[in-house]
Chain A
Amino acid sequence: MNPSIIGQMAVSGALMGLVYALIAYGFQLTYATSKSINFGQGELVMVSAFFSLTLTNLGLPYWAMIPGGLLFGAMMGLVVERAGVRLALEQKGEGWILLTIIIGLFFFSAAENLWGRDDRPFPTPISADPIHVVGVDITRLELSVAVGVLAIMGAIELFKRRTLLGKAFEAVSADRDAAELMGISATRTVMLSYGLSGAVAALAGILVSPITTVGPTMASALILKAFSVAVVAGLDSGFGVVLVGMFLGALESLASFYLGSGWREAPGLVLLILALAVRPTGVFGKATIRKV
């Protein structure tokens, strides 16, 4: 084992792991306000990536396409909230689990019909040329993933801490009923969290697609790892998902290099099983784990 290769693999993998962290962060946003998550989040990543690809193919420059993609993701997040979550939560039920899965399947079919079943390349102006940083080569593309993920998470965390609307978001997570007594609409806050979560999913799609290509099946690989990260890191710590995401990404990259690419998915699954075995109720709360 060559230490410089290990370092190279670990760093590359860790940067990719930030995409899992970002998707898991999307879970955290909606869980905070509504104790619900979108089980079709992977499909949301996928349709947003396809939509962004279409914008690019229509001739929109990369930097103009990004806000369009984020807006689309936010709107799809609102669709999920309205169609899959709100009624179930009003009835204090857990119907949102099945409903969000179904909406995800709907997105999947829609994508297959609209864009076809093939994986397609996602053009980007960011070059794949490596730059040399303390003994390892990092491509600009990989670096863009890290910058994008940390920028949007940082922006959302700043929003939560510095603006009154953000503090209202935190108040609803802390005590929904008391927040209502302050004149804060919990329903609107939940909508906001789903909108943000959708935008975050769209950015994950835009960042990862130039590296992995876009296809209807890209959701399943991403979502499982995002779940692993969310379960291990918990659903309240943004810092936690970043650390766990990078760790899982590094582990995957090393596993696929040393054991063969078929083993790439293994660390995520092992991590998920371990986390659930050590904390059998899981951090999702009992109801969710019971039904997953």
Chain B
Amino acid sequence: MLIVEDLHAGYGASEVLTGATLSVKKGTLVALIGANGAGKTTTMRAISGGLKPGRGRVVLDGQEVQGLDASRIARLGLAHAPEGRKVFGPLSVEDNLLLGAYSRLPRFFGYRTSARADLDRVYDLFPRLRDRTKQAAGTLSGGEQQMLAIGRALMARPKVMLLDEPSMGLAPVIVQEVFRTIRRLKEEGITLLLVEQFAKSALEVADYAYVMERGRIAVEGTPAELGRDERVLAAYLG
């Protein structure tokens, strides 16, 4: 569903990604782990178009998308719940969710009715959001904002969802809740690429994983295989 080949990208003169290669099969959850600064978030941004890759290919559902505008890639079926959540603070919870489905809703009127089923699905997944539909997203707690960011990405009915550091800055009990949610998304058959600093938790839910070091993939394998790799064990799962 998502294939990334020899991806190079960076900021100005400094190249952060030096040839990342990975793939995510339909209906699987793939984790991308690695130390801070290894290039995980840069990989995500280069896939979703926030950063133009200097070299390499990104193939989404059979179509090459590298170099396209982020909005175009999103319309082709990629939903990216970015690092730091990036909810639209001044807008209400429900407006944030509606905007998640922007590319397939009518632009002027009747959009709320068209999105009703998707809204209900997200509210069933995150009942706390249902109680706060009118509240400005910026006033939610960190955990609620993360739920909103995931819900907003779900609204797009994406072919592939990128989840970047969903547990960042959250209290341990909330982190558990986030992982329970990720498990549910997986059970629903959503194709997911997950970047996580909590490597252990990520490997518990993943079908396959890549370990990133200095801008490229150092090791890859199923969680069981990585669990037997002494280098990975020492560096990330200790």
Q: Are B71 and A184 in contact (CB under 8 A)?
A: yes
In the assembly, what is the distance between CA of A242 and CA of B89, in Å? 25
Please indicate the chain B residues that have their CB under 8 angstroms from the CB of A171 in the complex. 88, 91, 99
Give the residue of A170, A175, A177, A182 whose beta carbon is less than 8 angstroms from that of B102.
A182
Q: Are B50 and A164 in contact (CB under 8 A)?
A: no
Given A163-B108, A177-B50, A178-B86: A183 and B103 within 8 A (CB)?
yes
Which partner residue on chain A sits nearest B100 by CB separation? A182
In the assembly, what is the distance between CA of A164 and CA of B95, in Å? 8
Which partner residue on chain B sits nearest A188 by CB separation? B71
Give the residue of B89, B90, B99 whose beta carbon is less than 8 angstroms from that of A182.
B99
For the complex of A and B, list the 9 residue pairs with the smallest distance between their C-beta atoms, beginning with the closest: A183-B103, A183-B74, A180-B70, A178-B86, A174-B88, A165-B107, A164-B111, A183-B75, A185-B71
A186 lies within 8 A of chain B by Cβ: yes
In the assembly, what is the distance between CA of A167 and CA of B152, in Å? 14
Given A167-B91, A170-B90: A181 and B48 within 8 A (CB)?
yes
Which of A144-181 touch B at CB < 8 Å? 162-165, 167-168, 170-171, 174-175, 177-181
**What's the nearest-Cβ distance from chain A to residue B226, in Å?**
29
B46 lies within 8 A of chain A by Cβ: no
Please indicate the chain A residues that have their CB under 8 angstroms from the CB of B91 in the complex. 167, 170-171, 174
Please indicate the chain A residues that have their CB under 8 angstroms from the CB of B98 in the complex. 164, 167
**What's the nearest-Cβ distance from chain B to residue A235, in Å?**
14
Chain B interface bracket (under 10, 10 to 19, 20 to 34, 35 or more): 20 to 34
Please indicate the chain A residues that have their CB under 8 angstroms from the CB of B108 in the complex. 163-165
In the assembly, what is the distance between CA of A185 and CA of B70, in Å? 8
Q: Are A163 and B109 in contact (CB under 8 A)?
A: yes
24 A-B interface contacts by CB (under 8 A) = A163-B108, A163-B109, A164-B98, A164-B105, A164-B108, A167-B95, A167-B98, A168-B102, A168-B107, A170-B95, A175-B88, A177-B70, A178-B86, A178-B87, A179-B99, A181-B70, A181-B79, A182-B74, A182-B103, A182-B152, A182-B156, A183-B71, A183-B156, A186-B71
B143 lies within 8 A of chain A by Cβ: no
Q: Are B69 and A185 in contact (CB under 8 A)?
A: yes
Interface centre among A163, A179, A180, A182 (most CB of B within 10 A): A182
**What's the nearest-Cβ distance from chain A to residue B206, in Å?**
23
B159 lies within 8 A of chain A by Cβ: no
Contact with A along B120-131 (1 / 0, CB 8 A): 000000000000
Known: A171-B88, A177-B82, A182-B99. 15 other contacts (CB 8 A): A165-B107, A167-B91, A167-B99, A168-B102, A168-B107, A179-B99, A180-B49, A180-B70, A181-B82, A182-B156, A183-B103, A184-B71, A184-B99, A185-B69, A185-B71
Chain A interface bracket (under 10, 10 to 19, 20 to 34, 35 or more): 20 to 34
**What's the nearest-Cβ distance from chain A to residue B151, in Å?**
12
Q: Contact residues of A with B, CB < 8 Å?
A: 162-165, 167-168, 170-171, 174-175, 177-187
Please indicate the chain A residues that have their CB under 8 angstroms from the CB of B86 in the complex. 175, 177-178, 181
Which partner residue on chain B sits nearest A181 by CB separation? B80
B106 lies within 8 A of chain A by Cβ: yes
Which partner residue on chain B sits nearest A170 by CB separation? B91
Which partner residue on chain A sits nearest B149 by CB separation? A178
In the assembly, what is the distance between CA of A145 and CA of B156, in Å? 44
Given A170-B90, A178-B86: A184 and B102 within 8 A (CB)?
yes
Q: Are A180 and B71 in contact (CB under 8 A)?
A: yes
In the assembly, what is the distance between CA of A175 and CA of B149, in Å? 13
Which of B182-234 touch A at CB < 8 Å? none
Please indicate the chain B residues that have their CB under 8 angstroms from the CB of A163 in the complex. 107-109, 111
**What's the nearest-Cβ distance from chain A to residue B163, in Å?**
12
Contact with A along B10-37 (1 / 0, CB 8 A): 0000000000000000000000000000
Which of B54-105 touch A at CB < 8 Å? 69-72, 74-75, 79-80, 82, 86-91, 95, 98-100, 102-103, 105
Please indicate the chain A residues that have their CB under 8 angstroms from the CB of B105 in the complex. 164
Please indicate the chain B residues that have their CB under 8 angstroms from the CB of A175 in the complex. 86, 88-89
Q: Are B50 and A180 in contact (CB under 8 A)?
A: yes
Interface centre among A162, A167, A170, A179 (most CB of B within 10 A): A167
**What's the nearest-Cβ distance from chain A to residue B166, in Å?**
15
Q: Are A181 and B90 in contact (CB under 8 A)?
A: no
Give the residue of B50, B95, B106, B109 whose beta carbon is less than 8 angstroms from that of A181.
B50
